Amino acid sequence: MILKHHNSIETTDKLLQSGNSAEKQMAFYLQGAFGDDENFHILNGTRLKKGEDVCQIDHLVVHTYGMAIVESKSVTSKVKINDDGSWERIWDNHWQGMRSPVIQAKMQADFLRNYLNFHKEQVLMKVRGVQQTFDKMPIEVIVAISDSGIIDRSGHPESKFVYKADQVTSKIKEIHAEQKRLDKILTLSLKMPTWVFLKEAQERISRFIVEAHRPTAAPAPPAKKQDAQTKGTYSVKYVASLKMAGFFFDKNSSEKKISEFFQRQFFPGFLIQIIWKTCSCLVAVHGSPAVRADIEVV
């Protein structure tokens, strides 16, 4: 069941475009595998914030026996995990180092566990007066690369977390089936399972995470120039020496005084033109020195 759909972003940045494409592909596979299955809750593109710390999770799967974090990576060429745990990928026809997405996903898992524990009283019930926590809840991490990518595996343990996008849903089902098998074994042995969600708890926790999502603030749209004729928001500066026979100013008026007067009036554009033409005519009649006007529209 999809509780939070993938939201595409509009960008001209090629890296961001590639990342968005990988996430969209993974969301498509999750939709196809779990869209109608109430045992799996899918949350795409979840951004959580706690204080100054922020965690962005590409895909979160909440199921009966825990959670799984899927970190999507746009690798359409080749990626390899070296024996020392370092990652490399082919970008622009040459090998380039990259941050380990497995470590990245594990950091997200730690953040998510701490975040849920911080709000445990809101989402988990008490059992015999004891508050439940998320300390023992399994959070699996999976790294998904593009279908067309090639994984050059090594003997490093991180290799087991990396799959192509079309393989991820099968891995999630496999994890769920194994947890279910262990649950049955523990039930038959009269032992309590390590962790299991009641249906209502799974729903409540999933909805809580959706509501806790904090999207990145959209960039402010570029300022538009206002229409001078309709808005009339002018800052008008006149630099002049006027002699207009008592019309507004006399010959002793300072440039500052003239400028301040027009700024206070906020005349519409057409009226400014009429006033200025009138002033120019008067100046010409009375033989004033040359007049210069600078009009700045904001």
Task: Kindly state whether residues 203 and 254 are assigned to the same domain.
Answer: no
Q: Which of 212, 246, 275 is the last residue of a domain?
A: 212
pLDDT digits (tens, 9 = 90+) for 140-163: 999 999 999 999 988 889 999 999
Model confidence pLDDT, tens digit, residues 79-107: 999 988 899 999 888 999 999 999 999 99
171 plus 123 within the same structural domain: yes
Task: Quote the pTM value.
Answer: 0.71
Residue 167 lies in a domain: yes
- Per-residue pLDDT band for 168 (boundaries 50, 70, 90) equals very high
User: Domain for residue 200, yes or no?
Assistant: yes
Domain for residue 222, yes or no? Answer: no
268 shares a domain with 140: no
Write out the residue range of the structural domain in which residue 102 sits.
2-212
Residues 6+ apart with CB under 8 A from 150: 77, 78, 79
Both 136 and 273 in a single domain?
no
The count of structural domains within the chain is: 2
Q: What is the pLDDT of residue 276?
A: 53
Q: Convert the pLDDT of each residue in 8-50 to its tens digit.
A: 877 788 778 888 999 999 999 999 999 999 999 999 999 999 9
Residues 238 and 186 in one domain: no
